[in-house]
Amino acid sequence: MERECLCTGIGGQGVQLMAQVLARAATIEGRKVMLFGVYGGMMRGGNTDATVVVGDTDLLAPPLISHTWSAIGMHDEFWGPLAPKLRPNALVLVNDATFETELDQTRLRVHRVPATDIAAALGNELGSSMVMGGAYAGITGLVGVDSMIEAMRESIPSYRTQHIANNEIAIRAGFEHVENAGLTLVVPAWTGESVPA
């Protein structure tokens, strides 16, 4: 079984880090993983997209996938090319503060996550992508929160280690938001498994 997640946003929102953390967490849990990042030529404000494919056996997906089981939209400015890739009934998580495009909720399972607001309440304005990653883990069980935190610690470069503690809090806050909203495993990635810790 393979599960795909396409992540999109604008440069500077942490889309590539979030995708890397999800991919690395799945590797930690013993799954097969493919990660492919695409981004514009600027550090801030340009398009940034990432593909994460996770499976329980060798992967068959190409680096650029044509259809996806799920998507995370941190911003909708570059959403257009991703939208046609969503399978019917695909899960879509969007950052409530920055994603304004209306999505077809008769065709998709859409969940608006107040990731920016949660991160700001934590005093971590840069942590919205980690909040979103934690929420995605809670809704899907694709990876566990503890694996995400371990993966985040491994993914942060040495010159950014001051962000590790706040990122851990942000991941847990996203997961707790899902729990408090009654959304834990509403779209399970793996059948017959309980939510991972």
Domain at 11, CATH number: 3.40.920.10
106 in any annotated domain = yes
96 in any annotated domain = yes
Phi first, then psi, for residue 105 (nearest 5°) are -80, -5
Is residue 194 pLDDT above 70, yes or no? Answer: no
174 in any annotated domain = yes
Relative to beta strand 32-39, strand 2-10 is unpaired
Residue 42: what pLDDT? 63
Is residue 193 pLDDT above 80, yes or no? Answer: no
135 in any annotated domain = yes
Identify the H or E element spanning 4: strand 2-10
Contact present, 11 and 78 (Cβ < 8 Å): no
Residue 41: what pLDDT? 65
- Of the ranges 62-76, 122-136, 141-155, which one carries the lowest mean pLDDT score? 62-76
How far apart, in whole angstroms, are the C-alpha atoms of residue 121 and residue 166? Answer: 12
- pLDDT tens-digit profile of 84-135? 999 999 999 999 999 999 999 999 999 999 999 999 999 998 999 999 999 9
Task: Kindly report the pTM of this predicted structure.
Answer: 0.94
Query: In percent, how much of the chain has pLDDT > 90?
Result: 85
120 in any annotated domain = yes
Structural domain tally of the chain?
1
Averaged confidence pLDDT in the chain: 93
> pLDDT tier at 195 (50, 70, 90 boundaries)?
very low
How far apart, in whole angstroms, are the C-alpha atoms of residue 94 and residue 123? Answer: 21
DSSP 59: -
Residue 134: what pLDDT? 98
Mean pLDDT of 25-41: 92
